[in-house]
Homo-oligomer: A and B are copies of this chain.
Amino acid sequence: MELRLINKKGYNDNRIIQVGDVEIGGSQLVVMAGPCAIEGKEQIFSTAEMVKKAGGKILRGGAFKPRTSPYSFQGLGEEGLELLKEAGAYYQLPVISEVMDTREVEVVAQYVDILQIGARNMQNYSLLREVGRANKPVMLKRGLSATVEDWLLAAEYIAAGGNQDIILCERGIRTFETYTRNTLDLSVVPIVKNLTSLPIIVDPSHGTGRRELVIPMAKAALAAGADGIMVEIHPNPCEALSDGPQSLEFPDFEDLMMEVHKLQEVLK
């Protein structure tokens, strides 16, 4: 595969991406957390408080949601972004949210610190070019059936647009296995580290689709060399409008953060 911009140029060529006070790709493991979908002020503020208190670094929350069915909850849109920004500002957490449409890149970029490209849009090349022109870090999730090559070339599209602040995110691929929602492919963590200069984050929530697997797979991701993890948490997963079964409750999230701190010492 022909990588010209994001390929590793030497043993120490590791890009560190600065987002507010947070360094992604540096010596600290970074935890991004928040609800799948922003549902209202109380939900996002209580979640942000939890993230901050437990040591999470970035607040996530979906406002424009890519739902398989047109009849499912589609997110609060710009109103959701407004709430996310407020919550992030209040708790001093940089925020990340997904952008799905070339025409919305500019407006989403006004609210968030990191633009997220979701798995379903990984090969939406118009959108990749557009975020390549944005002046914000971009997190590029791996597509459900994207090979490593497809994925890195998609990142190269963003870089070719002029934006090299790219974070890769593994979130599981489609296989024959049905026990898990997707199959989390952790081998890409060392592969990405060997082939590119970019940081990589792992999302064990989408990667497994089952709450009870999130903590062990988060630990595995960090042990494999990931720069951080992204997890879904919710004050009350049973009532979540999206992805409840894979969202951690707050006490589980605190357990997860303790495990991360333990691993931090051995790994970095």
Contact = CB atoms under 8 A, between A and B. Distances in A.
Contacts of A156: 69-71
Given A103-B102, A125-B100, A149 B224 contact: no
Contact of A175 (B124, B173, B213, B225): B173
Interface of A: 1-2, 4, 66-71, 100-104, 120-121, 123-127, 143-145, 147-150, 153, 156-157, 160, 173-180, 183-187, 189-191, 194, 207-208, 212-213, 216-217, 219-225, 262-263, 265-266
Nearest to A189: B216
B124 A217 contact: no
A147 B178 contact: yes
Given A175-B183, A179-B191, 19 more contacts: A1-B69, A2-B69, A66-B123, A70-B153, A70-B156, A71-B160, A100-B126, A101-B102, A147-B178, A173-B175, A174-B176, A178-B178, A180-B191, A184-B186, A190-B217, A194-B212, A219-B224, A220-B220, A223-B223
A180 B175 contact: no
Contacts of A263: 223, 266
A148 B120 contact: no
Copies in the complex: 4
A209 to B, nearest CB: 10
A108 to B, nearest CB: 12
Given A102-B101, A176-B145, A223 B222 contact: yes
A194 B223 CA distance: 21
A222 B179 CA distance: 21
22 contacts: A67-B125, A69-B156, A70-B156, A100-B124, A120-B124, A120-B125, A121-B124, A145-B173, A145-B174, A148-B179, A149-B179, A173-B175, A175-B175, A177-B185, A179-B191, A183-B187, A184-B185, A194-B212, A217-B224, A219-B224, A223-B223, A265-B266
A237 to B, nearest CB: 18
Contacts of A191: 179-180, 213
A216 B267 CA distance: 11
B212 A223 contact: no
